Amino acid sequence: MIWTSLVLILGMVANVTISPHPSVAAMAEHEEPGWKLYTNARFGFSVRYPDDWRLGNPLPDGVGVMLYPPIEQSLVALSGHMNVVSGTSQDGRQTLNEFADAHRRIITELYGKKAIVVKWRPDQDRTLAGFPARSMTFTYTDGKQGDVVEHHIFSLGRNEGRGVRVKVPLTAEERLMSAVKRMLDTFQPGRDQNAVSPLIPKSEPSPANPR
């Protein structure tokens, strides 16, 4: 899954803006009757999904889960990831642009090793649960599945990020993405992606400036 080679990855529509801490009324506005709720125990994010979608096995290290819509050869993967790769942000970690560039390079190389050429559509800036996000879309032809399209949507805070990967036959893209858009209306991030990373050790106070 592509998220975790930027974190355990490939084993990952119109703009939707949602507050990171929506009110009960705002959440009720996006309720989908009969839809099931998935909550990730590790990262805390949650999302509602159609009741005729099958819940798959957890992704490695509990980062997320695979969902299987009733469209043959399609999937929707939900995941969280840490932002601990060095970059040019003020915290010395990756910016959203750097993450997107690395994501594009990894995917292109990964599929290239399988002799599959990917064709990228223009990226789209958007939000995911109120956080700045990027939507990246590409198509390719698979020898067994025919023409396929993938949508990778991800946000990136100074500590954590969230990702959604959609894979579907090109002929069913509009049908599935309509449901995905409604699903992302219910997406809740779980906790502050800009919180201080638990993986970054606290600096020791210097003798000249004791705390």
* Mean pLDDT for back-to-back runs of 10 residues, the chain (211 residues): 40 32 40 87 96 95 97 97 91 94 97 96 96 97 92 94 97 98 96 71 48 46
Residue 155 in domain: no
Report the alpha-carbon distance of residue 174 to residue 74 in Å, rounded. Answer: 13
Helix (H) or strand (E) holding 126: strand 124-128
- The number of CA neighbours under 13 Å toward the Cβ of 16 is 21
Q: Residue 125 belongs to a domain with what CATH number? A: 3.40.1000
Q: Which pairing describes strands 8-9 and 124-128: parallel, antiparallel, or unpaired?
A: unpaired
Whose tokens are 């507050």? That residue is 19
Residue 153 in domain: no
Report the alpha-carbon distance of residue 29 to residue 20 in Å, rounded. Answer: 15
| pTM of this structure | 0.80
Domain containing residue 126: 2-145+162-184
